[in-house]
């Protein structure tokens, strides 16, 4: 654990706390989705997860194009964030000719990154979206992030602490402002007083649901776990549509949380046709 005093206040970074908070934010996002609506003001609107609690990554999208990711290994954590219009070319001075479409695109956000954290960078960069750029007569895909931090032992650094322009820094600061092991929504700290009051009031009203998620996450930290019958009844008092429930089960299965006695749910087949949103040769 290491502390830093910043323009966002006193930030505390701890590898295990960040991984736990990522897991909890992932579970919370699913509980907050339509049609469940069991949590208001979830910290994440678009969750994605890869790997496990030892080596993995979490994508935290806000639903409007901005996002942050954290990748971790036993050695530490790499965090990266993107806000629309501020990718490596615009904000990190990455030449178009230097775009690789890989982790090196965003190294400029992580000055002094220790070699031991290269695997964490690869995991984090693997969750980043890409932007299309023209290089001569061809188009290349750059990884999109404009600010970052890295945590290794008792060292923490990155453009989060040095860049005077906030192009995602607040997103990353939230990982140093965890409360009770929870990643808070940005509106809880960086918004108007009335908005902050609304977030706090909904957290108070929904305290039993937050307690349930903490209980399940704490069990999962000790190994794969199942929901109890009471927990399922509390999460889904009205049984959802079978397809919607299957989607939630599949996402939770990725992080080792399953239904009592439920068999492993196979991944849906991957789309093999051309992406209609990508430029075709």
3-state helix, strand, coil in the chain (%, to 5): 35, 20, 40
124 lies in which domain range? 2-184
Residue labelled with tokens 């194009």: 65
Number of Cβ within 10 Å of residue 66's Cβ equals 18
Is residue 120 predicted with pLDDT exceeding 70? yes
Share of the chain above pLDDT 70, in %: 91
Q: In the structure, what pLDDT confidence band is assigned to residue 281 with cuts at 50, 70 and 90?
A: very low
Number of folded domains in the chain?
1
Please report, for residues 216, 254, 265, the alpha-carbon distance to residue 247 in angstroms, rounded to integers and kept in the order given: 19, 11, 10
Instruction: Inform me whether the pLDDT recorded for 21 exceeds 50.
Output: yes
Distance of alpha carbon 9 from alpha carbon 112, whole angstroms: 23
Which tens digit of pLDDT belongs to each residue from 136-180? Answer: 667 778 899 999 999 999 999 999 998 777 888 999 999 999 999
Tell me if 81 is assigned to some domain: yes
Closest to 216 in 3D by CA, of 81, 23, 46: 23
159 within a domain of the structure (yes/no): yes
Q: Could you tell me if residue 141 is inside a domain?
A: yes
User: Does residue 220 form part of some domain?
Assistant: no
* Domain presence at residue 273: no
- C-alpha 37/C-alpha 217 separation (Å) is 19
The reported pLDDT for the residue numbered 135 is 65
Report, as an integer, the average pLDDT of 52-73: 95
DSSP, collapsed to helix, strand or coil, labels residue 176 as helix
Q: Is residue 72 part of a domain?
A: yes
Is residue 277 very low, low, confident or very high in pLDDT (cuts 50, 70, 90)?
very low
Residue pLDDT, tens place only, 97-117: 878 889 999 999 999 999 999
Work out the pLDDT band at 221, boundaries 50, 70, 90.
very high
260 within a domain of the structure (yes/no): no
Picking from 35, 50, 38, the residue whose alpha carbon sits closest to that of residue 216 is 38
78 φ, ψ to 5°?
A: -120, 130
Mean pLDDT along residues 232-261: 87
Distances 213 to 20, 30, 79, 96, 184 between C-alpha atoms, Å:
12, 11, 24, 44, 14
Whole-prediction pTM: 0.89
Which tokens in the block code for residue 267?
């991944």
Domain-located, residue 212: no
> pLDDT over 90 for what percent of the chain?
58
d(CA 130, CA 137): 19
Ramachandran region of residue 277, left (φ > 0), alpha (ψ -120 to 50) or beta? alpha
């Amino acid at each position: 654990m290491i502390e830093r005093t910043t323009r966002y206040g006193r930030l505390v970074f701890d590898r295990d706390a960040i991984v736990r908070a990522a897991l909890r934010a992932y579970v919370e996002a699913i509980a907050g989705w339509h049609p469940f609506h069991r949590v208001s003001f979830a910290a994440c609107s678009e969750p994605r997860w890869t790997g496990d609690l030892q080596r993995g990554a979490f994508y935290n999208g806000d639903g409007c194009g901005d996002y942050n990711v954290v990748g971790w290994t036993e050695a530490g954590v790499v965090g990266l964030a993107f806000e629309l219009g501020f990718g490596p070319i615009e904000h990190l001075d990455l030449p178009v000719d230097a775009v690789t479409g890989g982790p090196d695109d965003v190294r400029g956000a992580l000055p002094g990154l220790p070699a031991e954290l290269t695997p964490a960078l690869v995991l984090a960069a693997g969750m980043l979206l890409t932007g299309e750029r023209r290089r001569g007569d061809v188009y290349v895909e750059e990884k999109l992030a404009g600010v970052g931090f890295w945590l290794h032992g008792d060292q923490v650094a990155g453009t989060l602490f040095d860049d005077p322009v906030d192009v995602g820094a607040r997103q990353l600061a939230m990982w140093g402002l965890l409360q009770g092991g929870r990643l808070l929504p940005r509106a809880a700290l960086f918004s108007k007083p009335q908005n902050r009051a609304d977030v706090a009031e909904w957290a108070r009203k929904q305290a039993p649901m937050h307690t349930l998620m903490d209980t399940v996450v704490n069990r999962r930290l000790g190994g794969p776990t199942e929901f109890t019958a009471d927990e399922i009844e509390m999460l889904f008092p009205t049984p959802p549509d079978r397809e919607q429930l299957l989607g939630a089960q599949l996402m939770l299965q990725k992080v080792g949380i399953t239904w009592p006695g439920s068999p492993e749910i196979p991944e849906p087949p991957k789309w093999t046709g051309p992406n209609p949103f990508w430029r075709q040769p």
